Chain A
């Protein structure tokens, strides 16, 4: 089993993010494979010594590196967004999980001056974001660590008086002929509550870690959940179990590793076109489990241009601790 996972991980890690070939049951792709090279930063080995969950752990931490790029229809690499590195920490409190995301670094940008090219540090105006439980507004801290502001916990008025909104509103005048996605959301009544907690779940549950650090013992539960959600597997593709579900708006294909029942590829098609492709890679952990190490995704930004947006999210230094980050 371990050998199989190793092969799977190696193949995913070596392969560049690519717009996959069409699978059976999914519409024909209208885009060509990406020629984008893979990430330049090598995989770091998790320092986690055997992350077999201790039932009493209450702190999760990981470093997250996000690299993003646009890809042209013909696969030509487009511009990069600055590489972002975060420290992601989740701690369990009396009322649920508190999430803290700290900006570790932002890649500098190159500027060509009259004296030649130089790198300009990206001065991120914020350093940290904290998301508490349902009753606590999200807090944003500035570069000096001071509270910048709290995101509203109540619906905002239609016309906000802050300068940004006023500016945007002013510039929009006379442009009502354009289709506005946000208007479309409003039109279908999808105004979701601003409460940041899914009330259907136990706010103190540790279940979510199963998706980041899958354990072999949870295989049956994971497979059962997949079957309930997506139906029975419909054969295999490249040795991966294939689940397909179709709704009125989308067809979703999920490919899973049969040994672990973890998703390794998710494809979504809408109106006959592949619009979203995600690949998840794992690394075997000494504690008889897997560690989710990377999510690579591409989304179709425009049917007309065929341009895609790619994101490569890498997890390193994953730890489970008790009593805070050590």
Chain B
């Protein structure tokens, strides 16, 4: 008896118990953040469940409670969902999702602007309050300087009244806006949100990250950054549409104060001098009120409200750095939606992540609705059944002739088990980690040789391969790359789904190590080297590079228009910063220039290496 047969016998019960793949949607639990409910996901839930084979759940948890309690609430509601369940959390909801993974395995966690490293606003809460109280103090001080209406330029009070109202309103709304955001120092989760809290330290400690890596195969953090992060102050967060108007009002108010202060300071009246001084200070406070919101939400240091304070890029509530998923993959989205708009305004990003990163197939495309893209322990393909790759470009079919075949979208065979002519039974992902094709007699016709890896699962990838992935996320076996992906040069980029073209990477196309895209005259090649560096070579040697050595992953012309070099861990190492242009393409020209074009034909980026 062969070792394989012994393994098959030993796990006979599992094989007997194998259930065929059901046309079942993948559970996705959309979790909300502070001051919100499950209703915040209504639109996104409808869209995602229309576009993807997902079964959406929108729980409402008590967002003021500690993370552990919120996770318990999730577990009590959705503990029965299967192990492929994806938890997608916005803001604090992402941290709750990570906490939930302690209670049960998850197929993936996607976080949308979540404070993995804590929320600096919790650290700076009282500094921010004090700043606003100081604003009241200046307004009061200035008002008091008009205590005797007969002295000096008393009439100036009427002139600057509008500026005083704006300052008064800004101070008031600087405080009230906190409750609008759900930030309240008295709520139990508040202390946990501090960047220095024991909870945050434990959440990101190596043992917890190792646990997450072993129980949650896909961990993705979406980092959102708005343009002009420091403009509009707190109003950018609580009323994004009105922020430009408020920014203008603050400028008008402060400049009005400055000019009138200069005017009355020239009267020589000592009381006017005092008033002028208050007016200059108030104008400065107005500017600081706008700028210091950025420090308040992004600088966790003790210096945030000193001259050494820093403003970090942010999504109006959280800085970029805390949104990165420790131990997972982080995706940076620039010019993104402000924090309070993200659950409604980022459907395309969520679609992209769920489909390409989590392998959830599109609904209504690629055959069977809800076809899975993976086989987990105990799942099998029966004769006539098939799997589809996340992008729908490849399908793995267990044919009635006994052969298990991986087809490209156009019917070209990428790979097969060469088991045609055998009687059929099933292609099964065994609980011992081995992926096996059995014939009718129960004899293994082919196997991946991956036994001894309990908890492993089989994935069908966009690259035209199938992989067996261990429970820790490591690829322990993979079918060979299809021929069109192996040879560097013309057509590079097929694996990600872009249409092959000699000199062009279309949306979705990737370059893997060793692959290149070349100019039509073959003189220039944009090569993704095995050392991770993306280099443009010309007849006289290298002309440009991304300087991304080490841990090669791939370079992708993303569907969002951004051309990004990723490390093997999924961490973006370099990007063209051209996101926001759907269906853009990258072209290597015969003059040595590499250009990204929008779908309208406009140049959005280039290496500036042409013509020489």
Contacts and interface: CB of A to CB of B under 8 A. Distances in A.
A266 B273 contact: yes
B474 interface: no
B307 A181 contact: no
A299 interface: yes
A171 B172 CA distance: 8
Contacts of B444: none
B125 interface: no
The 7 closest A-B pairs by CB, nearest first: A68-B284, A192-B158, A297-B277, A309-B281, A311-B280, A211-B268, A81-B284
A299 B278 contact: yes
A38 interface: no
A32 interface: no
A298 B245 CA distance: 30
B265 A295 contact: yes
Contacts of B136: 179, 181
B249 A164 contact: yes
A299 B277 contact: yes
B256 to A, nearest CB: 7
Interface in A120-143: 120, 123-126, 129, 131, 138, 140
Given A79-B295, A79-B309, A180-B168, A167 B273 contact: no
Question: How extensive is the interface on chain A, given as a class?
Answer: 35 or more
Given A109-B230, A168-B173, A77 B277 contact: no
Contacts of A179: 136
Contacts, number: 280
Given A79-B292, A82-B291, A192-B157, A263 B310 contact: no
A192 B155 contact: yes
29 contacts: A64-B262, A66-B280, A70-B284, A79-B292, A109-B291, A111-B311, A111-B313, A113-B225, A114-B225, A120-B230, A131-B260, A167-B239, A178-B172, A180-B172, A181-B168, A192-B159, A196-B155, A196-B159, A210-B268, A225-B268, A229-B270, A230-B270, A252-B270, A295-B277, A299-B277, A309-B134, A309-B138, A309-B285, A311-B281
Interface in B271-294: 271, 273-274, 276-278, 280-285, 287-288, 291-292, 294
B284 A301 contact: no
Contact of A185 (B143, B231, B255): B143
Contact of A208 (B266, B274, B285): B266
A110 B230 CA distance: 9
A64 B262 CA distance: 9
Given A164-B242, A276-B145, A298-B277, 4 more contacts: A109-B291, A113-B225, A129-B259, A192-B157
Interface stretch (B146-154, B345-353, B391-399): B146-154
A86 interface: yes
A266 B138 contact: no
Contacts of A81: 283-285, 287-288, 291
Interface in A56-112: 64, 66, 68-70, 72, 76-82, 84, 86, 88, 99, 101, 103, 109-112
Interface of A: 64, 66, 68-70, 72, 76-82, 84, 86, 88, 99, 101, 103, 109-114, 117, 120, 123-126, 129, 131, 138, 140, 148, 151-152, 156, 163-164, 167-168, 171-172, 175, 178-182, 184-185, 190-198, 208-212, 222, 225, 229-230, 247-250, 252, 254, 263, 266, 268, 270, 275-276, 278, 280, 295, 297-305, 307, 309-311, 313
B251 interface: yes
Contacts of A297: 276-277, 280-281
Interface in B157-215: 157-159, 161-162, 164-166, 168-169, 172-173, 176-177, 180
Given A84-B258, A247-B148, A301-B134, A195 B158 contact: yes
A232 to B, nearest CB: 15
Given A194-B158, A295-B265, A112 B281 contact: no
B87 interface: no
A293 B607 CA distance: 50
Given A193-B155, A212-B266, A302 B133 contact: yes
Contact of B242 (A163, A193, A270, A295): A163
Report which residue of A123, A300, A309 has the largest number of chain B beta carbons within 10 angstroms of its beta carbon: A309
B305 interface: yes
A88 B143 contact: no
Given A163-B245, A252-B271, A266-B270, A70 B288 contact: yes
A110 B283 contact: no
B251 A124 contact: yes
A303 B144 CA distance: 14
Nearest to A315: B262
B248 interface: yes
Contacts of A131: 259-260, 263
Nearest to A162: B245
Given A171-B176, A185-B143, A252-B271, A112 B284 contact: no
B247 interface: yes
Interface of B: 130, 133-141, 143-149, 153-159, 161-162, 164-166, 168-169, 172-173, 176-177, 180, 223, 225, 228-231, 235, 238-239, 242, 244-249, 251-252, 255-256, 258-260, 262-263, 265-271, 273-274, 276-278, 280-285, 287-288, 291-292, 294-295, 298, 305-307, 309-313, 320-321, 332
A197 B263 CA distance: 11
Contacts of B251: 124-126
Contacts of B228: 120, 123
Nearest to A72: B306
Contact of A114 (B158, B239, B310, B320): B320
A88 B138 CA distance: 25
Contacts of A78: 305-307
Contacts of A211: 265-268
Nearest to A168: B169
B138 to A, nearest CB: 5
Contacts of B262: 64, 88, 101, 313
Given A68-B281, A138-B256, A99 B263 contact: yes
B319 to A, nearest CB: 8
Contacts of A263: 268, 270, 273
Residue of A78, A171, A194, A252 with most chain B CB atoms under a 10 A cut-off:
A171
A304 B134 CA distance: 9
Nearest to B265: A295
Given A82-B291, A172-B173, A278-B274, A182 B165 contact: yes
A305 B126 CA distance: 12
Contacts of A311: 277, 280-281, 284
Contacts of B164: 181-182
A192 B143 CA distance: 12
B268 A82 contact: no
B158 A109 contact: no
Given A180-B168, A247-B148, A249-B147, A109 B311 contact: yes
A86 B280 CA distance: 13
